[in-house]
Structure 1
Amino acid sequence: MGKKDKNKKKGKGAEKTAMKTDKKLAAKQKKMLKKLEEIDIAEVIGRLEEEEARIKTVSEEICASAPTPRSNFTLVAHPEKEELILFGGEFYNGQRVSVYNDLFFYNVNKNEWKQIRSPSGPTPRSGHQMVAVAANGGQLWLFGGEHASPSQLQFYHYKDLWMMSLKTRSWEKISTSNGPSARSGHRMVVSKKKLFIFGGFYDNNQSYNYFNDVHIFSLESYTWLQVYIEGAIIPPPRSGCCMASAPNGSILVWGGYSKEKIKKDIDRGITHTDMYFLKPNKSAQNSTKYKWITTKTNGYKPLPLSSVSCTSAPNAMVYSFGGVMDVDENEEDLHGQFGNDLLALDLNSLTCHLIDNFKKKKSQNKHPKMSADETLAEAVNTISTTSTDGIFTVKVAGTGGSASTLPEMPSFFSNYKPDSLPSPRMNAGLCVCRGILYVYGGLFEEDNKQYTFNDLYALNLHKPEEWKVIIPNNMNVHDWIDSESSDSDDGDDCEDSGEETKSESEMETELFFFFCKYLEARTLFLNIFFNLINRQTLLCENLA
């Protein structure tokens, strides 16, 4: 009993410490928001809802150009027409984040974009999920997502469910109980007249939580169903995974990303490479009992990437594109290595293969012989041990759960010149419409800069030999504003610790000074070395 009470007191002490830490973080954030003159995120959402309510009629406008660059949006194919539908997303220019709730329809045959404005629709968000179904003339179903404040100090996570009638172009908020908690980065697919939602995360900049729960919404009764998971196997929590529905009613989940706290102020990022089937219990009709089982693919082995784009196609095929791998650069920094692999997965045989038989256009681009993805593959084959910079570590977790980091790999995008292949990226839009695979937008990072795209590519899946460039990737239009937030944050930290910050010019001067001293020392050493050799030679000659 004594030990039990003692442990109980320890638990309460830890809880109080956590509460104090949260209060300190909240106070610091409040101070920063006041300095930036940024209003509370909940008030922002309220104002946005009022703006949506002021729209009274549905309107359509033909766009002069494609939607603005963005990532973490949704792109789906119209269930009955040769159209693509794009909603939401975000854009970061180095200082401020812009979040969108604009809705676009792209007519494939006319090469025409239309923006649709409807009364009382979803407020701006990114990291949400949207699917299209053919019921009642076509419907869009949208769930969750997040809204980041311009400074990225505040985040609002949604747990709302929306339906748009493609016939009337009107939104309806579906209010029903027992739904998922607020989240973004989750995945949602439709199967057998049901919506399946898995995973995601919640992060308010003070604490975070990753999910591995399953939620099912009936498209017939418009209710959230009670889900029973049988067995001991459950996928670890994650966000940004790939998810697809098989013809037999099973749901396939693989990959993704999560974080876990290993020490105070130290998080570990985990890139998941495992794969699971969520199989229904077919012993009882209309049962909501399911069981997770582990599985693996045959054929090509995908690289350990996260934020991979994924879409389903007819004939039980799933296609994935791009993604990012965190790399420990020099035990002080992490940077992402991006891919542009296009993979095809047969859900019946679970056979994966790489689509790489493209007819590449001749380019004057002086690249190294290996592609970015080949370099990634080589890095995977030369795995080193896990290391940490004291703040964040990276772990690649497969079915065995072993940890690893990847060595530094050269940059390819700095030399990239537009050709017929989509460049490496993550969180792009990917969908299949009438046998054509489309890739739109996404994000690339290099040298602490983000490049957000609005290019568009098409690939005939019946003859996947060459990408068609509909909207080229113009690197000259990517404006980036160097962020001052990191400098101000560092300044605040230095005030707390009594240390003094140094400008970049001062640091460069110091580095140049040390480099000159190094050259002097090196010259002195060589002079001494050669003098010793000369003396030794003279001594030998005299002895002879």
Structure 2
Amino acid sequence: MGKKQKAAAATGKAAAKAAKKAKSAQKIERKEGKKSKKRDDSDERADDQDLEAILDKIKREWEEAHKVDEEVVGGPPSRRANATLTPCPSGNYLWMIGGEFFSEDGKAHFYGDVFRYTPEKDEWRQFASPTCPGPRSAHAVAASPRGQLFLFGGEFSSLYQNNFHHYRDFWSFDVNTHMWERIETKIRPSARSGHRMAMWKHFVVLFGGFYDPGIKTHYLNDTWLFDTTEYKWQQLQMGPNDRAPSPRSGFSFFATADGIILHGGYCKEYVKGKKVQGVALDDTWFLKMDTEVKAIKWSKRKKIGYAPSPPRSGCTMAFWSAKGTGVLFGGVTDVKEDDETIESVFYNDLYGYVTAGNGRWISLALRKPKKKPGEAARRKKKAQQLLQQQQLQQQRLAEYARRQEDEDERDDDDDGDARTVTGESDDEDDGDRIKATPATSDSTAKQLLLAANVIVPAQLAELDTDAPDPDDPALTIPMARYNAMLAVLRNTVYIYGGIVERGAREYTLDDFYALQLDKLDRFTTLRPCDIVFGEGEESDEDGDDDESGSDSGSENDDNDEEEEGSVTVVDPDERKTEDVEEVEVEVEKPPEDDLRARATAFLGVTRSPDPSRTAEDALSTPMPGETLAMFYARSRTYWAQKAFETGASDNRGKMLRRDGFARAEERYKEYKPLLEEVEKILAEAGLDEEEMRRGAARPSGAAAEGNRNRR
């Protein structure tokens, strides 16, 4: 028994020890578990803190990238062309985006800034953000009722236009937050400029435009739709029997309740064997819209009513929604007078296109203010009375002068006799008369002269029915131009800038006007045109080189050579055809391969600024597309100076100009074969005759300005 009890006690002790160890192990395990849990909680909190820091960093970076700087500017934006002026979809504002300006030194400046105009305050504000579209011009903008401005495409070039870039990016601008957002889609329209966009319900509709890689301009006529609910682009597919507008750019494009109106534009016609010709289009099309894309169709509209004539490019149209009417302003027509002269005719008239039904054109002429009843008759009667008064005053003046002359003669004949006989008292009276007469006569004469020659004519001038009426609204119309920016806000149309030509130069305008369409009374000038046109570019010079009043015949023709901005030289033109024939016979052309190589090199020099080329060399060298008359008109001062320095002529007037022209003619003959080969190269590349001549009228680097604006 004792042994068994001892064994049982030993077993109990062992079990107790094992239980104690197990309990201790569990305790240690619990402690380790708590420590592990603490570590896990600590790590989890650290991860949460790191994630919050990352999100905070991302937020700060985004805010920095989308930070908007707002600034009130002193007036309208700087001079620029091919920008967009868009009515605000959710407020009484105008938005201007982008644009381009070509300075006098031939440099191209592109803008990417955003301006907002408030009519009530006549205030301009500028908004800038790091996240925004790049500088561009000839882009398109459409406004959404949700408070967004959608922007697509446009172009940009290097400073001297050696390289061009066409955008195909798509952006959205929030008019409330003033932030830009780039919209990336796999399918989208190709890169282009000069296209147009309009907003119809939830669709952004895009049509046409051009793509110019540098030499030849490719025009487009595809139609694209962007669904703002799905954020997807899709191209409108045309059936074999479906009609659509021809390829074009620079047209008018606006949305109505049922669809979209397209009018006019510009393109170039390519005919095999002929030079490319620029064409101003005047057709009108209607895009019948539908929420089902397959049901959207183009249809051409007939020309009904008082349409703009002749066809013009660069005219701008904006939609007046209150009356369902498109408002058109300005434009230009290039008239080819002969092989060497292209005359540009600019317009500043106002037309309306009523979109209801089949559409109808109307003239939006300003209304003259109504005069009071009988105002014209009253003015006429008053003028007659003043004329009678003037005649009476002149008669009195003539009678007074005759009496004075008679009295002077009698005084001379009776010199001193009356005083000797009448005595001292008579002398005093006579002396008083003699002293009083001059003062009285001077006063009377002055009064009569003043009445007859000053007062009455001034009153007549005020009543002159033939003089311009200061209340005539025609005096407030902006000068003729093309490519003006146009926008209608409520019942007011706003016109900003545009382009006008004087002689061989183009000027980008920066004036700003407003017109109440429901009144059509007069334009309000919000900013006047402060551009000073070049001397002689608005009118001919006075021909101050004439030394003799007996000049006539051919000498009068020489005066026409002094006209600034003209490309016609009258005297040389009398033998122009004969000279060209002589050049073709006399000038020996180099081998064709050598001539083509020289022409290619010469074309590169004229298109790109060469630091080694002096200003004298550029002035004395004919340009591609430049006729003899144009070359002499551009450089006649240089050749006259050369003739004077060499002492070739002792005369300083017409003979000096004749000698200068002879030198210019000799220089032109020297380059004639090279110029002809260059023109062949340009014609093969698709450059039309108009572009060659306009390019020749501008300095190197600025030649493309006219071409760009005509595109």
The TM-score normalised by the length of structure 2 is 0.52
Of residues 110, 117, 131, the one that matches 2:121 is 110
Query: In 2, Cα distance between the equivalents of 1:126 and 1:478?
Result: 26
Amino acid at match of 2:299: I
5+ residue gaps, structure 2, are: 1-61, 370-473, 538-564, 566-604, 608-616, 625-630, 644-648, 660-711
**Residue aligning to 1:42:** none
CA gap of 1:333–1:53, structure 2 versus 1, over 3 A, is farther
**1:420-478 Cα deviation digits (max 9, x unpaired):** 11111111111111211110111111211112111111111111111111111223388
Q: Secondary structure at the match of 2:214?
A: coil
Query: Are positions 1:311 and 2:318 aligned together?
Result: yes
**Of 329-338 and 203-212, the range deviating more from structure 2:** 329-338
Query: In 1, Cα distance between the equivalents of 2:619 and 2:298?
Result: 44
Structure with higher Rg: it is 2
Aligned residues of 1:87 and 1:102 also touching (Cα < 8 A): yes
Query: In 2, Cα distance between the equivalents of 1:287 and 1:210?
Result: 24
**1:56-97 Cα deviation digits (max 9, x unpaired):** 511101102221011100001112222111111111123111
CA gap of 1:516–1:213, structure 2 versus 1, over 3 A, is closer
**Residue aligning to 1:348:** 356
Query: In 1, Cα distance between the equivalents of 2:620 and 2:158?
Result: 21
Query: In 2, Cα distance between the equivalents of 1:63 and 1:257?
Result: 35
Shift of 1:289: 3.8
Shift of 1:123: 0.6
Query: In 2, Cα distance between the equivalents of 1:148 and 1:215?
Result: 26
Query: In 1, Cα distance between the equivalents of 2:63 and 2:109?
Result: 21
Of residues 339, 342, 347, the one that matches 1:339 is 347
Query: Are positions 1:298 and 2:336 aligned together?
Result: no
**Residue aligning to 1:237:** 247
**1:136-177 Cα deviation digits (max 9, x unpaired):** xx1111111111222223211111111011121110111112
**Residue aligning to 2:188:** 179
**1:250-277 Cα deviation digits (max 9, x unpaired):** 2222211111333579321111122222
Of residues 436, 446, 461, the one that matches 2:517 is 461
Of residues 166, 172, 184, the one that matches 1:157 is 166
Query: In 1, Cα distance between the equivalents of 2:152 and 2:70?
Result: 24
CA gap of 1:493–1:107, structure 2 versus 1, over 3 A, is closer
Query: In 2, Cα distance between the equivalents of 1:320 and 1:235?
Result: 19
Q: Summarize the alignment of residues 521-540 of structure 1 with structure 2, pairs less than 5 Å apart.
A: none
Of residues 69, 76, 98, the one that matches 1:88 is 98
Of residues 403, 427, 433, the one that matches 2:483 is 427
Higher strand share goes to which structure? 1
Query: In 2, Cα distance between the equivalents of 1:326 and 1:265?
Result: 19
CA gap of 1:144–1:489, structure 2 versus 1, over 3 A, is farther
**Residue aligning to 1:67:** 77
Query: In 1, Cα distance between the equivalents of 2:173 and 2:620?
Result: 46
Aligned residues of 2:211 and 2:217 also touching (Cα < 8 A): yes
Amino acid at match of 2:320: A
Amino acid at match of 1:504: R
**1:370-400 Cα deviation digits (max 9, x unpaired):** xxxxxxxxxxxxxxxxxxxxxxxxxxxxxxx
**Residue aligning to 1:271:** 280
The TM-score normalised by the length of structure 1 is 0.67
Amino acid at match of 1:237: P
**Residue aligning to 1:258:** 267
**Residue aligning to 2:636:** 504
CA gap of 1:275–1:56, structure 2 versus 1, over 3 A, is closer
Aligned residues of 2:318 and 2:327 also touching (Cα < 8 A): yes
* Superposed structure 1 runs of 4+ greater than 6 Å apart: 477-480, 514-517
Query: In 1, Cα distance between the equivalents of 2:485 and 2:361?
Result: 21
CA gap of 1:117–1:295, structure 2 versus 1, over 3 A, is same
**Residue aligning to 2:131:** 120
CA gap of 1:473–1:419, structure 2 versus 1, over 3 A, is farther
Q: Summarize the alignment of residues 140-155 of structure 1 with structure 2, pairs less than 5 Å apart.
A: 140-155=149-164
CA gap of 1:54–1:328, structure 2 versus 1, over 3 A, is farther
**Residue aligning to 2:402:** none
Query: In 2, Cα distance between the equivalents of 1:270 and 1:91?
Result: 25
Shift of 1:356: 1.2
**Residue aligning to 2:199:** 190
**Of 167-176 and 268-277, the range deviating more from structure 2:** 268-277
Shift of 1:357: 2.2
Query: In 2, Cα distance between the equivalents of 1:126 and 1:155?
Result: 12
CA gap of 1:512–1:152, structure 2 versus 1, over 3 A, is farther
Query: Are positions 1:286 and 2:292 aligned together?
Result: yes
**Residue aligning to 2:140:** 129
Query: In 1, Cα distance between the equivalents of 2:303 and 2:505?
Result: 35
Amino acid at match of 2:493: L
Q: Secondary structure at the match of 1:288?
A: helix
**1:292-343 Cα deviation digits (max 9, x unpaired):** 2221232102121111111112142211111111121442133422111111
Shift of 1:104: 0.5
Amino acid at match of 2:219: Y
5+ residue gaps, structure 1, are: 1-51, 361-417, 495-500, 518-544
Shift of 1:493: 7.1
Q: Secondary structure at the match of 2:296?
A: strand
CA-atom RMSD, angstroms? 3.1
Query: In 2, Cα distance between the equivalents of 1:107 and 1:79?
Result: 14
Of residues 492, 495, 502, the one that matches 1:439 is 495
Query: In 2, Cα distance between the equivalents of 1:493 and 1:428?
Result: 30
Aligned residues of 1:225 and 1:288 also touching (Cα < 8 A): no
Q: May I ask how many residue pairs the two structures share in their alignment?
A: 395
Higher helix share goes to which structure? 2
CA gap of 1:276–1:88, structure 2 versus 1, over 3 A, is same
Query: In 2, Cα distance between the equivalents of 1:478 and 1:441?
Result: 18
**Of 229-238 and 52-61, the range deviating more from structure 2:** 52-61
Amino acid at match of 1:301: A
CA gap of 1:507–1:467, structure 2 versus 1, over 3 A, is same
Aligned residues of 1:70 and 1:443 also touching (Cα < 8 A): no
Aligned residues of 2:149 and 2:172 also touching (Cα < 8 A): yes
Q: Secondary structure at the match of 1:252?
A: strand
Query: In 2, Cα distance between the equivalents of 1:434 and 1:226?
Result: 33
Q: Secondary structure at the match of 1:301?
A: coil
Q: Secondary structure at the match of 1:273?
A: strand
Q: Summarize the alignment of residues 466-477 of structure 1 with structure 2, pairs less than 5 Å apart.
A: 466-476=522-532
Amino acid at match of 2:308: P
Query: In 1, Cα distance between the equivalents of 2:246 and 2:262?
Result: 11
Q: Secondary structure at the match of 2:270?
A: strand
Q: Summarize the alignment of residues 20-99 of structure 1 with structure 2, pairs less than 5 Å apart.
A: 57-94=67-104, 95-99=106-110
Shift of 1:54: 8.5
